[in-house]
Structure 1
Amino acid sequence: MELKPEQLVAQLGLDQATPPSLRPAYLIAGPEPLRVLEAADAVRAAARRQGIAEREVFEAEGNQREPDWNGLSASFRAPSLFASRRLVEVRLPSGKPGKEGAEVISDFCADPPMDVVLMVTAGEWSKQHGGKWSEAIGRIGLVAVAWAVKPHELPDWIERRLRQHGLRADRDAVQNLADRVEGNLLAAAQEIDKLALLSDGSTLDSAKITALVADAARYDVFRLVDAAMNGNGAQVAHMLAGLRAEGEAVPALLGMVVMELQRAAALARVQAKGGNLANEFKAQRIWDSKQPMYRRALQRHVAPRWDAFVAEAGRVDRIAKGRGRVGEEPADAWLALERLLLAVAEPRAAKLLTVTRS
């Protein structure tokens, strides 16, 4: 039986005085790590409530590409040493157990030991990943697939999570948060956790969410990059000063900066060739609400300039890590990052960059 991760959590009955018995096997898989993690945590919590204190984990270690299938098979046959029942976890990042692993899991499902609850988790999943082994789990247990939340589904997901934290928010507030996290469920969950701590109990509107989030972290890399892409150089300089004052490190910011510059560079190349920009937005997983920002940024710079920005970000990284080339200026990574983002925001500032000088 296939469920959504949230449906699996509900079936486990963690909020009930007497939760239902655990199934012999569970498969929790999918490309959305937060949903996989929380569903797996719920199975572990349900196991603890039912007195299952012993847990074994099988995963690839060292140079191994797969878990120790022989060890797993032996564990299934061996009696528990410390408890009457145990939870055995098998972690498959690729979502594929291979022929040997599929046989071990199928054999378990054909005659599951009374003292073992099997939980298989996988970080990747598609119709091609499944097979007789996953069907076998479905026959004796439950399969939960954590598909990525689609853009139009995210506001409802956020609203449900807000309610779980005892928070009320209007639709504009929910959309504000959805736009901010851009489909990143982990980021959304972290923001909601902060809102639960900062809220005074009243209904959250869009302005209040913005204010509360700003109070929790006055300057963040998401808004920093947005300011650069939107052409707001003054805001870029102000935010960078705040981040530096708060003790942030340049390398910690560069991941998001590089990702956005690479996205823009890819869009610029498609646009320069007369390609379908809408398809590229989809390929880059850029939400409708963010597309106008990118379109404005593409109007300010031609395709080669975006590639130069990506190269400049690499130079900033070298400087930040103390590996700058002899004679490179500036030696201050913060100043180098500021010049880069100001150049993104304002074409006239591009002359400050070494890699864009003719």
Structure 2
Amino acid sequence: MAKLRPEQLAESLGKGLVPLYLVSGEEPLLVQEACDQIRATARQQGFTERELFHTDTAGFDWSQLLSATNSLSLFAERKILEVRIPNAKPGDKGGKALQEVAQAPAEDNLLLVVTGKLDRNALKAKWLKALEKAGHHIQVWPVSPAQLPRWIAQRMKSAGLSADSAAIDLLASRVEGNLLAAAQEIEKLKLLSDSPQITTELMASVVADSARYDVFGLVDRALHGDARAAARSLHGLREEGSEPLALLWALARDIRALVQITQAQSQGQDFSRAAQAAGIWPKRQPLIQGALRRLKPAQLQQLLRKANGIDRATKGMRAADPWDELLDLTLNLAGVQSLHPQNERLALKL
């Protein structure tokens, strides 16, 4: 029906739901917020059930989605069917299943498909065309360094705040393209400021390393291979009341970047260009390059599976302690091999 930018979604939802939404992109915060808007609107309109399908989990069968599409709820309630395809490649069986669902959407179901960045082949695929024909496609693009100050200004305006260009540039340089970090700093400003006008002085005091531990320091210590310091940071963040999902986003973001760079290099692309395409700022490229010398492609794929399992644990969909699993993920990113592929596959099924 239509391709929408994230900022157009709220207006579209205000006009009513369509049977199907596809949200694609590699910026976790914007993807998450788009999905949250869709789910919230759906709940308001009676979609009280939700079934989640992770296509990258071991043993996933696309017939599960088809069965859920065709089955009636036990309590005759409307439901959201959410399908997550991190690599944006459903394969032949998945493509056919998505086409089948898109061609005859059930009246009491809303299909929400969430994927990573769509490559050129995916954009031409029949399954994608079928989804776009049946519903709306929200494409999430990375915010470039040049666009970041404007994004921050708009985010602050939505929060009821404003700041001059110097203050905004200061925040942009601090977060280095990490939108989640920027959003967290803006929320902090709302709490600490007595005025909606944020001065450069206040911005400097807030975005300085005011906390003893910070999320991005945790990730950098793990990438550097300093397991002891990374574990200390994780413990400190837990003690300070950080949310596990926020830490997972930061860790998973760089793990996905490592995977993307590895794949690009295997196809003959040089590291600098691959890192830039993966959204790694020049200042962090030596850190990423060092991590890649230590972590093999198979280990990175294992870390991605682990991150997916932690995501489900934080949402109560797996019987596991998210903090224990975050420690495992952090240590293995730092080079401590505590994960055994066979045991991990069994654990993620729980």
- Sort the TM-score into its range (normalised by shorter chain): 0.5 to 0.7
Distance 1:58 1:159, change over 3 A: same
Q: Distance in 1 between matches of 2:166 and 2:6?
A: 27
Distance 1:79 1:37 in 2: 28
Letter of the 1:81 partner, please give it: L
Counterpart pick for 1:89 among 76, 82, 89: 82
Q: How many residues align?
A: 257
Find out whether 1:25 has 2:25 as its counterpart. Answer: no
What one-letter code is carried by the residue in structure 1 that aligns with 2:132? G
**Which sits farther off after the overlay, 169-178 or 128-137?**
128-137
Among 134, 139, 143, which residue is 1:145 paired with?
139
Which structure has the larger Rg over C-alpha atoms?
1
**Offset, 1:285:** 5.1
- Measured after TM superposition, the shift of residue 81 of structure 1 is 2.1
1:30 to partner: Cα distance: 0.8
Question: Structure 1 unaligned runs (5+)?
Answer: 14-19, 227-239, 264-275, 298-305, 312-316, 324-358
Deviation at 1:123, TM superposition (A): 2.3
1:195 counterpart = 2:196: no
Gaps of 5+ in 2: 221-228, 239-246, 259-269, 295-330, 338-350
Residue 217 of structure 1, CA deviation: 2.2
2:161 alignment partner in structure 1: 167
Aligned mates of 1:218, 1:74 — CA distance in 2 = 50
Q: Is the 8 A contact 1:54 1:83 kept in 2?
A: no
Q: How far apart, in 2, do the equivalents of 1:224 and 1:96 lie?
A: 31
Letter in 1 for 2:38: V
Q: 2:214 touches 2:237 (CA, 8 Å); kept in 1?
A: no
Q: Does 1:110 align with 2:103?
A: yes
Which residue of the partner structure matches residue 9 of structure 2?
Answer: 8
Q: TM-score, normalised by structure 2?
A: 0.62
**Residue 111 of structure 1: how far off its partner (Å):** 1.7
How many Å separate the matches in 2 of 1:140 and 1:62?
26
Q: Structure 1 length normalisation: TM-score?
A: 0.61
Deviation string, structure 1 residues 202-229 (Cα, Å, up to 9, x no partner): 4112221011234842675869999xxx
Q: Percent same amino acid at aligned positions?
A: 41
Q: Aligned-residue CA RMSD in angstroms?
A: 3.9
Q: Quick one: distance in 2 between partners of 1:12 and 1:222?
A: 34
In structure 2, the CA distance between the partners of 1:117 and 1:285, relative to structure 1 (3 Å rule), is closer
CA drift of 1:78 comes to 1.5
Partner in structure 2 of residue 101 of structure 1:
94
Q: Which amino acid aligns with 1:109?
A: A
Q: Partners in 1 of 2:57 and 2:90 — Cα distance?
A: 17
Match of 2:64 in 1: 71
Q: CA separation of 1:286/1:172 partners in 2, compared to 1, >3 Å: closer, same or farther? A: farther
- In 1, the alpha carbon distance for the partners of 2:85 and 2:73 equals 24
Give the equivalent residue in structure 1 for 2:36.
Answer: 41
Structure 2 residue 81 is matched with structure 1 residue 80: no
Query: Cα deviation per residue 1:283-337 (whole Å; 9 max; x = unaligned)?
Result: 685658x69xx9xx9xxxxxxxx98xx99xxxxx99x9999xxxxxxxxxxxxxx
